[in-house]
Structure 1
Amino acid sequence: MSRVAASIEDDVLALITEDELVSVTEALVAAAGENPGGTEEATIAVLEAFCLGAGLETLTEEAAPGRPNLTAVLPGGERPGLLFLGHSDVVPAGEGWERPPFEPYVRDGRLYGRGSTDMKGGLAAVAVALKALKAAGAQLPGPVTLACTVDEEDLGIGIRAYTRAHAGESFSGCIVAEPTDLATVIGCRGDSYIDVTVHGKSAHSGRPSDGRSAINAAAKIIGLVVEDHERLQETQDPLLGAGSWNVGLIDGGSGTSMVAGECRLSLDRRLMPDDDPHRILDGLRARIGEAGIDQDGIGVSASVTMEMPGFRTPEDHPLVGDAVAALADCGFASGISGWTAACDGGFIARDFGVPTIVLGPGGLNDQAHQVNESVSIAELVTAARAYALLCLRQAKAG
């Protein structure tokens, strides 16, 4: 590394402070944004105000009424630059918190509050890193973009709106700032929801043969789903595991003394990176037909109601190596791993065709969506500094 390059890196890192990271994260946590509920607007207002104060260019675009996506850009040269991706919504706080969930506080080196890990801390780390790059006068060959979308925790309307609105833009790579305990995640499974409605014929339970039980037919469909799930588990990918089924909801019938005229199933189908949920649904329909379930007065309708694609970036891709090296230079030894969870990064990998990783402060399994959620302040600092180094190094390589 040249003396000039080392100097600008030192200047940028010196501008990233624990106090500012804590302050920004606390403000974002206090803005709440529980979803379902569509209340992300306050979070976007806090993030936009900080980005404007940092000298970034900002743009808000409504994904739905009162639900704006935010794009903040640190200008650079003509080459494609990095895209950082995050979301403004949090899951409902629920009960059992030791303090109000949207009144953040610090204790023993951790910042507590709903969304601190998933993922207000990651958003704060990106924003503070971009501010430091701007303040240090870093000359980047390409712009660096932060995209913050709504509705990641529910149906993903925000990321879909973002990819439509920004189709044709080019990026050198994407870093999703979701919580990974600062591991470099190079692949994620995707997710899809499949809703199935079984139509039968209601009758008095004293003469069940007069009706056609939608619940009985739905039980047979559940059997097919369980069989397929077990088949999928026979082949395990060393990084991502296997696709999977889960019957999440079932609702049917109108009374104990009546044959059920209708039954509804909501199925979760986790996807491998090359899976297409519509082809998966076609396969389920075919098995229903082969089993003779949709006959003799029974009808079945089904549709894909949500899909989030998976992705995989080669372990030897420069973005992966740059991320591991940046963390190492910040004093953190990052492992390379995969996620069985899903995230919005799959849309970026698919729709923009760019290498994508997930890398952020906080723990997915032990903190995200948990009561008394918290994030390590030391991880916030390390993440912000690593993001800044990635911008300086990856943009030059791009």
Structure 2
Amino acid sequence: MDRETVFKILEKLIAINTANPPGNEKAAAEYLYELFCEEKISARIQDLGNNRANLTASYGNGEPEIIFCGHLDVVPAAEDWQFPPFQMIKKGERLYGRGTADMKGGVAAMCAVLLQLSRENIRLSGTLTLVLVADEECGNLGMRHFLREKGKAAFAVIGEPTELQVAVAHRGVLRDYVDIAAAPYHAALPLQQHNAMQDAAKAINAIFRMNEALVQYRHALLPPPGIAVTMVEGYEKDNIVPGHVRLLTDFRVLPGMGYEECRRLEEQALEGIENCSLSKHFFMPGGEMDSGHALVKKCCEIGERVLGEPQSPAAFDASCEQCFLVGHGIPAVICGPGSLKQAHTSEEYVEEEQIRLAVKYYYQIAMEFLKGEESK
């Protein structure tokens, strides 16, 4: 296979602006659909409406089925960029552009493997399915839609940026709105009058103090839960102390911590603050796989051979969609090219060598799990 194929795919995907919101992933799905159809690889677009779509493609047939999974959307590129964010720029051994690391680099590598298997006419004793979803960066619309139609599979590999280390666990996230109300009044009146701003300050301090108690929660790989305030909103007019202030929390939670437990912890922290109410904005549970699972061990073995260095199960520092796959009964590891440190930055890049190694890594996973051999 032409090893530069993967970079051509990545360059095209970077040029398709799928910043979420609004997403517009359908254009990327249509590009890949046409690419696979040209190679006579079975592909399907799952239309989600409003220019949102998933793309699935498969090679081989029968069971077992393994899934290569990624997302087509990226975060917005509103910051000042050294290079055009929706143009792949090569500088030395780095490829710059929005999504190079998170995670169009992983998507391109997975696509390239399907093409390589097809072009080499490899016979698999099972099916390799590529699942590329919309809306991972916001509400997981694409993954939820895919799983509503999906049965079981042997396992999945999610191509989030882990520098090709095998990650088996991630924290979930709860985002709640905290609304604080009090009577508005003229800013020229005495400061001792009770107001929503003062209560908002108390609420912010109470939320950050939660972190002192959260350190008691332990996990073998993941850090303790942590909570922060990511939004404060309350302006009415220059000379009015507002009657309503809204906060948004970001609560990173361990696998097994359900919404009700997390909500209860927030309520306890805010107890005593007048006219304070909580409302749910978003919840994604944490996810994890047993580090001793045969899938994990095999992926680590393949990784050691491809990378030439020891591998052991690690944690993924951000949230991702492993939790949904595992919750659906599909074991899943997280392993992809690039570093999470580059994700969501204004200088996002991936090393060329990471992409090349990812193609080799994913190819070996397909061949060894599905006992691939060249057709006679």
**What's the TM-score once normalised by structure 2's chain length?**
0.91
* 1:164-200 per-position Cα deviation (integer Å, ceiling 9, x unaligned): 233xx11111111011111111111111211111222
Q: Provide the C-alpha distance between the structure 2 equivalents of 1:24 and 1:80, rounded to a whole number of angstroms.
A: 28
* 1:233-268 per-position Cα deviation (integer Å, ceiling 9, x unaligned): 244434111111010001114245434311100100
Q: Provide the C-alpha distance between the structure 1 equivalents of 2:219 and 2:144, rounded to a whole number of angstroms.
A: 28
Given the alignment of the two structures, is residue 388 of structure 1 paired with residue 371 of structure 2, yes or no? no
Given the alignment of the two structures, is residue 63 of structure 1 paired with residue 39 of structure 2, yes or no? no
Q: Which is richer in helix?
A: 1
Shift of the alpha carbon at 1:331?
4.1
Shift of the alpha carbon at 1:360?
0.7
* 1:141-183 per-position Cα deviation (integer Å, ceiling 9, x unaligned): 33221111112122322222222233xx111111110111111
Q: Provide the C-alpha distance between the structure 2 equivalents of 1:198 and 1:64, rounded to a whole number of angstroms.
A: 36
Task: Select the residue among 182, 202, 205 that pairs with 1:200.
Answer: 182
Q: Provide the C-alpha distance between the structure 1 equivalents of 2:110 and 2:118, rounded to a whole number of angstroms.
A: 12
- Aligned match of 2:297: 321
Q: Provide the C-alpha distance between the structure 1 equivalents of 2:54 and 2:42, rounded to a whole number of angstroms.
A: 14
Give SS of 2:103's match: helix
* 1:14-34 per-position Cα deviation (integer Å, ceiling 9, x unaligned): x3x421111111111111211
Task: Select the residue among 128, 134, 144 that pairs with 1:144.
Answer: 128
Q: Provide the C-alpha distance between the structure 2 equivalents of 1:96 and 1:292, rounded to a whole number of angstroms.
A: 43
Task: Select the residue among 157, 163, 170 that pairs with 1:181.
Answer: 163
Which amino acid counterpart does residue 202 of structure 1 have in structure 2?
Answer: P
Q: Provide the C-alpha distance between the structure 2 equivalents of 1:200 and 1:43, rounded to a whole number of angstroms.
A: 48
Q: Provide the C-alpha distance between the structure 2 equivalents of 1:133 and 1:107, rounded to a whole number of angstroms.
A: 30
Q: Provide the C-alpha distance between the structure 2 equivalents of 1:359 and 1:315, rounded to a whole number of angstroms.
A: 14
Q: Provide the C-alpha distance between the structure 2 equivalents of 1:305 and 1:64, rounded to a whole number of angstroms.
A: 22
Q: Provide the C-alpha distance between the structure 2 equivalents of 1:98 and 1:283, rounded to a whole number of angstroms.
A: 42
* 1:340-393 per-position Cα deviation (integer Å, ceiling 9, x unaligned): 21111221111x12221111111111x222233222222212111211221222
Aligned residues: 371
- Aligned match of 1:332: 308
- Aligned match of 2:17: 32
Alignment check: 8 A CA contact 1:199 1:214 kept: yes
Over 3 Å counting, the alpha-carbon distance change for 1:212 and 1:157 in structure 2 is farther
- Aligned match of 1:224: 206
- Aligned match of 1:73: 58
Give SS of 2:4's match: helix
- Aligned match of 2:3: 18
- Aligned match of 1:11: none
C-alpha root-mean-square deviation of aligned residues, in Å? 2.3
**What's the TM-score once normalised by structure 1's chain length?**
0.86
Q: Provide the C-alpha distance between the structure 2 equivalents of 1:379 and 1:163, rounded to a whole number of angstroms.
A: 30
- Aligned match of 1:127: 111
Which amino acid counterpart does residue 313 of structure 2 have in structure 1?
Answer: I
Pairing 1:89-128 to 2, within 5 Å after superposition: 89-128=73-112
Structure 1 unmatched runs, 5+: 1-14
- Aligned match of 1:348: 325
Alignment check: 8 A CA contact 1:277 1:304 kept: no
Given the alignment of the two structures, is residue 292 of structure 1 paired with residue 268 of structure 2, yes or no? no
Given the alignment of the two structures, is residue 362 of structure 1 paired with residue 338 of structure 2, yes or no? yes
Over 3 Å counting, the alpha-carbon distance change for 1:335 and 1:186 in structure 2 is same
